[in-house]
Every structure is written in structure tokens, then in C-alpha cells.
Amino acid sequence: MREDPSADRSTLAGDERAVSVTVGYVLTLAIGAVLLSGIVIGIGGVVDSQTDRVVRGDLAVVGQTAVANLESADRLARAAEVERPSDADPATVSVAVDLPTRIAGRPYRIAVDNRSVTLRTDDPEAVAEIPHVATLPVESSRVRGGPVRVRYDGSTGRLEVTER
């Protein structure tokens, strides 16, 4: 049915045809935005907790690698001292260790002392302390994560960890 073109235009102001389509479209967009933001927030929390778990696991693995190489340098240094003739120069041992520069995309620090090797990150804040059984004294040191060198100098009789 067609409207009379000569009808008064003031009746258009009260015309409510096609309003339900517009309101339905706007409501669909609003509900979609709310659902999408809820999903993003929910997944963001899962990603953060997984990142934290990965960082802690990787710190432990890298720490074990550092401890294994420190103990290897300890064994090599003790063997070098035992087999060294008394009139020879002091024994020196150097072990290069290729540790990653970042863990889960985050930088980390390594602290070494007579008891343990401690790795830590700031974001997320995580710490892994791995005890070692090196029998030679270990010089306390702090280095950035990445390639390091474990050195033994027979003149000082100590193991030292330095950045490469």
C-alpha cells in the first residue's frame, strides 16, 4: 500500500517503521563488543599465568645448565691441580657456557656464590635458586643472562663466573 504524496509531512515524525531493524543492529553490535571484550580479558589472564609458568620453568632449566657447567669446571680444576707438577705455573681452567640471553622474551640475571646459582627476572618476578656441589671456593658474582665463562685461576684457587 502506498501513502498519499499529498499527505501532511508532519505525520512522518510519528512514523516508527524500520526502527526495530536499527535497534536490533545496534543491540547486536553492543552484545558482540561485550562478548569480545570478555573473551579478550579472559584469555589475557590465561596468557599471563602461562607466561609466568614458562618463565619459572625455563629459569630452572637454565639454572641447572649453569650449575652443571660450574661443577664441570670444578672437577676440571681439581684434576688440573692434582696432575700439575710442583714447578709448573698455576693451573687455569676456562669453561664457556652458552646460556640464552632472554627467557620467554625477558632478560634475567644470574648470581653465583659458594652455595648456589640464583636466576631471577623482574617481569614477571620469578626466582630459581639451584644449589651446587662445587668443592673449590666460588667467587660471589652477578652477571646478566647470556653467554658466560666459568674460570679457575690456580693462583687464587677460586672459581669465578663472568660475562663473555
Enter the C-alpha cell of residue 48.
599471563
What pLDDT is stored for residue 20 in this prediction?
80
User: pLDDT of the chain along its 164 residues, tens only?
Assistant: 565 555 555 666 666 666 788 888 999 999 999 999 999 888 877 777 888 899 999 999 999 999 999 999 999 999 999 988 888 899 999 999 999 999 989 999 999 999 999 999 998 899 999 999 999 999 999 999 999 999 999 999 999 999 99
The ranges assigned to domains in the chain are: 33-163
pTM of this structure: 0.74
What pLDDT is stored for residue 1 in this prediction?
52
Q: What are phi and psi of 4, to 5 degrees?
A: -75, 120
Cα distances from 85 to residues 72, 90, 94, 136, 153, in angstroms, run 22, 10, 19, 19, 16
